[in-house]
Amino acid sequence: MLSIIKRDLINVCLNPALLLYQTLFPLLMVLVLGLMNRNLYDSDLLSVHDYYGIGIIIYMAVNIAIIATNSFMEVSIKNANLRIGYAPVATYKIYLSKILATFVFCMLSLFALSGIFHLLWGVNFGDSFLLFMLLIASLALFSCSLGVMFCCLLKSEETANKILGLLILFLSLLGGVFFHPRALGDGFAQFSALSPVRWTMEGALRLIYDSDAAYIAPAIAILSVLTLAAILVCQKTFKLEDYL
């Protein structure tokens, strides 16, 4: 299992498009959103870069679902992944290794991005950085499982990515990654409570600015249950012939 995870992790890292997408893209997002909205959030307590630094970290943790689908069923590696199935390897290891490899890739990149955001814009991650990252890790693991689950259900990376792209955008908008949901009205703000991104965003902001960790445990627990559910769906639906 470890050798497959290692192989999958190297495959993701050797894909320049994915690598740039997970590193350069968030930097540009914070830069551009910071410039566009510098009058909205700038205060002594919360700068625009603070808001978007945290928001984009959370967005990238959700968006990793797209990379998980690539790692699982992207055309250029699909046949090689199928070859793993010819070997005496349990089928679950094939999809689980993709979830875990993408998760490791995501966390490494998010740790690096957090450092860069802090250095470039002084983004404040509070005093409980590890707890913050634990929350982000729960969201990222859920997203990786979701990405692979969509592939298992739809049997196609392309279709999975199309649907996931929309879902991620919707969950991120609900979650207040780009602007606070209240900006679209109270109804929308209430509805946004359904988004795991919202719980994570809310939990992160409370943890950082109020030193309030009350949201963290429930958010991690719910995300863990959702992750397990997604993995169970993979177990039920994934067949080696899906690679054919």
Partner 1 sequence: MKKVLSIRNLQKSYKEKKAVKGISFDVFEEEVLCFLGPNGAGKTTTINILAGILNEDHGEISYRGEPFKNVLRKYKSELGIVPQDMAIYEEISALNNVKFFASLYGLKGEALETAALDALKRVGLYNVRKDKPKTFSGGMKRRLNIACGVAHKPSLVIFDEPTVGIDPQSRNHILSYIKSLKEEGVTVVYTSHYMEEVEEISTRIIIIDYGEIIAIGTKEELKETLGDTDRYTIDVDNGRIDTEKFYAIDGIKDVAYKDGKLSMDVIRGVDSLDKVVAELIDQDIKLNSLNKESDTLERVFLNLTGHSLRA
Footprint of partner 1 (CB under 8 A): 3-4, 7, 10-11, 14-15, 76-77, 79-80, 82-89, 239-241, 243-244
Q: Which is nearer to partner 1, 11 or 69 (CB)?
A: 11
Distance between CA 146 and CA 106 in Å, rounded? 14
- Least distance in angstroms from the C-beta of 231 to partner 1: 21
Query: From start to end of 81-195, where are the E strands?
Result: none
* Rg of the chain taking only CA atoms, in angstroms: 18
- Least distance in angstroms from the C-beta of 6 to partner 1: 9
b/e per residue, 83-95, with b = 16+ CB within 10 A? ebeeeeeeeebbb
Q: Which is nearer to partner 1, 89 or 213 (CB)?
A: 89
- Least distance in angstroms from the C-beta of 22 to partner 1: 17
Q: Which is nearer to partner 1, 14 or 35 (CB)?
A: 14
**In the block, which residue shows the tokens 């250029």?**
76
- Least distance in angstroms from the C-beta of 63 to partner 1: 23
Distance between CA 45 and CA 42 in Å, rounded? 8
- Least distance in angstroms from the C-beta of 156 to partner 1: 16
**In the block, which residue shows the tokens 């209430």?**
190
Burial of 77 (C-beta count, 10 Å sphere; 0-12/13-18/19+)? middle
Q: Which is nearer to partner 1, 50 or 242 (CB)?
A: 242
Q: Which is nearer to partner 1, 43 or 76 (CB)?
A: 76
Distance between CA 99 and CA 146 in Å, rounded? 9
